[in-house]
Amino acid sequence: MSLLVVGLGFLSMGALGATGYWMLGVNRRMIRLLDMQTVLRESQAAHFQHVNSAAERLQQDVNTVQSTMNALRSIHPEIDASLSAHHFLLEHEHENTESIDLRAACSVLQSVVQHQGTHAGEEAELSATHASLLRRLLAVFDRYGVTMGALHLDTDTAHRLGLAAGHLQNYDWAEHALNVAYQLSPGHLSILEGLERIAQLRGDDALVRHWLEARMKITPDDPALLRAHAHLLASLGDDDAERAVRRLEALGVDTAADRSLLAGLRARAGARTEAIEAIMQALDEDPSRSADWLQYAQLLEAEGEDDLALEANERCLTLDRQSGEAWALKARLLAKRQGHERDALKAVTHAVALDAGGVDAVFLKAELLELEGSVVAAEETLLKAIEEQPSNGELRARIASKYLLHHRVEDAEDMLKNTPDGIDHALLHAVEGRLHLAHADRLRDGTGQTDQSLLQSAIESFNGALNLNRELGVAWLGLARTQRMLGEVETAEESLSRAGRLMDDNHPSVACEAALLALDAGDAERATSLVDAAEVRGQNATTAYIRGNIAAAKGHLKQALFHYSDALTLDPGHIRARLNRTSVNMGLNEAQKALDDAAILLDLAPHLAVARSRKGDAHMHLGEWDKAAQEFKHVLEKAPHHTHALTQLAACYMGMDRPERAEGPLNEALRQTPEHAPAWFQRGLYYLHFNKLDHALSDFEAAVRCDGNHMDARLRIAAHHHGLGNLDEAEVAWKAVLSLEPDHHLAKARLAECEKNLMKSA
């Protein structure tokens, strides 16, 4: 046996041994795996048995919870309501459905509001959860267009829903629900209380009165209702308020506060004596009410008992130092006393600081500061007030009016322009009308055309004020003045009559306007008596100006000059008084003084064309033809239709020995105004200069036809016939001159000469 065979034998034996060993290991592992599978099966069986047991216990617990929930929902309806509402909202709140089940909606709503109390004065009895659910439910109803009519709720549910919705400040649903409840049960007091409360929350006083009176039909002698009714009627200005207080008095349950209200009602009705008696009774019963002392003081002030009013007002301030109206009253009373201006200023400063006294207090403070010499502080007071109350139409209008009174036209215009959008007040329109009149005073050109446009604007503004307040006297007064300036005398008289009834006939402004109206009608005597009535409260620039107009109308030029000078001393910015004084000075041959006034007028109103025209007339009177021509040219730049300026410019050319330039302006003047006698006369002089005697005579005769009192034209006509030897025509012409001026020496001499020559020829 060889070694190879031995080796292979050993190798085979080793392989067999290894294989046997591996198979033994595999067998052992298989046995262990089988053992583990057995253990695992046993473990899973035990686990499944445990899980089945736990599931059985859980099902038992669920059944127990369900039973408990059913029991809780039965025992506690609020929980059932919450769950039902929540389930309903899950279906509809996010618009997952196209329609809504009204029966389910009604059921859910009823379950939520059933816990709301049925007394309007109670606080909301719904829990925070239910209140939130109700708010969401109502929002869903609004989204789906569900109304009270569609829900068909019963009286109790509608009542509770109305009160609950009111607590949620959903006043639309509250009102609709309570109205449904009222229709179903009209005599239910709590429903009426709920409707009244909703009306109060809405601020509808008329509706509050309706429901309050409906409650009074059920309980007519309830003192609280009677008292509330009286106060409501008083706030509405209804005369039946006193009857309501009288019922309290008849029942014997009236209080000091009720008698105080009665006093206020009687004062409002004009029965101040009875009002004082009522408030004194209230004070005798309860002197600790500061408001009653204030009312007593105000009544005494209205009766003119200033000393007693001041004493009563001090009692009010002793009880309440923060009573702004009492400080305002004290300021008014002290301001009437000589030497108490400083104390009045302190009082009104308190009142303004407490936002009391209204616009009157603000202006009283400004006036008292001006009396002290603090003009800047007075201005700042007004500006601060309008800055704090930019929407106060009355305050803005009165500040603008004050500016106009001091001829601060631009400031007044700015004040009106800065009015916030949406603010409309009758006084603002009235001041706007006065502003147009002020512009008319400063833009007049003497032709009337500029006046017409501005005055029409003023008419519109005053009518705008009257559309807002037909009882505004100052608007009627402004309308009357504007109508007078437009020549509408009868209409102006009607408007002035309205103003007099509203402002008191003795009001200085009414009397002054009536005087001007009488003067325009040619009744100087009535105008004088009216000015006398206006001056009862003291002379002012307007009354002096009117007296000047009366004197000028009578031909008393020196007296007119005196009155115009008085007016300008009192008010140097009075445009019309200074303008009229220039005319009077020209009539008195005081051309230099007229020139000085015209210069001042142009400083005050640079665009006042009529003042520039008067300045030109004064230069002409002084022989300053170049300067006069420049003034008239300036007028014609703004008003090419100005007949007087055209005529005077032609006269200037004649005076400058440049007659060839005079014909054009004269022809234009006559084209514009064929009845303008001075233009005919001036053109007659123009033709006379060129020795065109027939043309000159024709124009002089045209001047007389336009103005029978044109003395210079008649003299020229008479001289023309006399010079040509036409004695018959000359005699007639000289007699015409003497008919106008019987003491004319030249006319007398020439007439005698004509008559002598005619006698010789005869």
Joined tokens for residue 474: 């100052």
Look at residue 136 in the predicted model and tell me its pLDDT.
73
Residue 641, φ and ψ in degrees, nearest 5: -90, 5
Give yes or no for a contact between 438 and 604, defined as CB atoms under 8 angstroms apart: no
Note the pLDDT tens digit of each residue in 222-263: 666 666 655 555 555 555 555 555 555 554 445 555 455 444
pLDDT of 571 over the 90 cut: yes
Look at residue 75 in the predicted model and tell me its pLDDT.
43
Look at residue 585 in the predicted model and tell me its pLDDT.
94
Q: Is residue 197 very low, low, confident or very high in pLDDT (cuts 50, 70, 90)? A: confident
Among 87-91, 113-117, 273-277, 309-313, whose mean pLDDT is lowest?
87-91
pLDDT of 475 over the 90 cut: yes
Report the C-alpha gap between 601 and 582 in whole angstroms.
10
Note the pLDDT tens digit of each residue in 55-68: 666 666 545 544 44
Give yes or no for a contact between 357 and 328, defined as CB atoms under 8 angstroms apart: yes
Report the C-alpha gap between 415 and 229 in whole angstroms.
43
SS (H, E, C) 168-214: CCCHHHHHHHHHHHHHHCCCCHHHHHHHHHHHHHHCCHHHHHHHHHH
- The ranges assigned to domains in the chain are 11-75
Joined tokens for residue 175: 């009102």
Joined tokens for residue 719: 């001289």
The distance of Cα 567 from the centroid of its chain, to the nearest Å, equals: 34
Average pLDDT, rounded, for the chain: 80
Burial class (CB in 10 A: 0-12, 13-18, 19+), 148: buried
Higher pLDDT, 79 or 579: 579
Q: Is residue 506 very low, low, confident or very high in pLDDT (cuts 50, 70, 90)? A: low
Give Cβ neighbours of residue 159 (< 8 Å, ≥ 6 apart): 118, 177, 178, 181, 185, 188, 190, 191, 194
Give Cβ neighbours of residue 605 (< 8 Å, ≥ 6 apart): 441, 442, 443, 575, 611
Joined tokens for residue 391: 């929407």
The distance of Cα 115 from the centroid of its chain, to the nearest Å, equals: 49
446 closest CA partner among 661, 673, 666, 652: 673
Joined tokens for residue 594: 């007229």
Look at residue 508 in the predicted model and tell me its pLDDT.
86
pLDDT (average), residues 348-373: 92
Note the pLDDT tens digit of each residue in 641-657: 899 999 999 999 999 99
SS (H, E, C) 263-290: HHHHHHCCCHHHHHHHHHHHHHHCCCCH
Three-state DSSP at 733 gives: helix
The radius of gyration computed from the CA coordinates of the chain, to the nearest angstrom, equals 50
Give Cβ neighbours of residue 451 (< 8 Å, ≥ 6 apart): 440, 444, 485
Q: How far is CA 200 from CA 56, 171, 172, 181, 203, in A?
A: 62, 11, 14, 19, 5
Higher pLDDT, 476 or 8: 476
To 10 degrees, what angle do helices 508-520 and 489-503 make?
A: 160
pLDDT (average), residues 316-321: 90
Look at residue 119 in the predicted model and tell me its pLDDT.
58
Give yes or no for a contact between 230 and 241, defined as CB atoms under 8 angstroms apart: yes
549 closest CA partner among 573, 521, 508: 521
208 closest CA partner among 218, 217, 197: 197
Three-state DSSP at 2 gives: coil
Look at residue 68 in the predicted model and tell me its pLDDT.
47
Q: Which residue has the tokens 């007693």?
A: 308
> What's the DSSP call for residue 126?
S
Give yes or no for a contact between 441 and 455, defined as CB atoms under 8 angstroms apart: no
Look at residue 713 in the predicted model and tell me its pLDDT.
93
> What's the DSSP call for residue 552?
H
Tell me the Ramachandran region of residue 374: left when phi exceeds 0, alpha when psi lies from -120 to 50, beta otherwise.
beta
Give yes or no for a contact between 586 and 564, defined as CB atoms under 8 angstroms apart: no
Q: How far is CA 222 from CA 7, 199, 253, 512, 603, in A?
A: 136, 20, 10, 57, 74
191 closest CA partner among 117, 114, 105: 117
Higher pLDDT, 475 or 230: 475
pLDDT of 433 over the 90 cut: yes
Length of the chain: 762
Note the pLDDT tens digit of each residue in 620-629: 999 999 999 9
pLDDT of 22 over the 70 cut: yes
283 closest CA partner among 302, 300, 268, 270: 300
Q: Is residue 80 very low, low, confident or very high in pLDDT (cuts 50, 70, 90)? A: very low
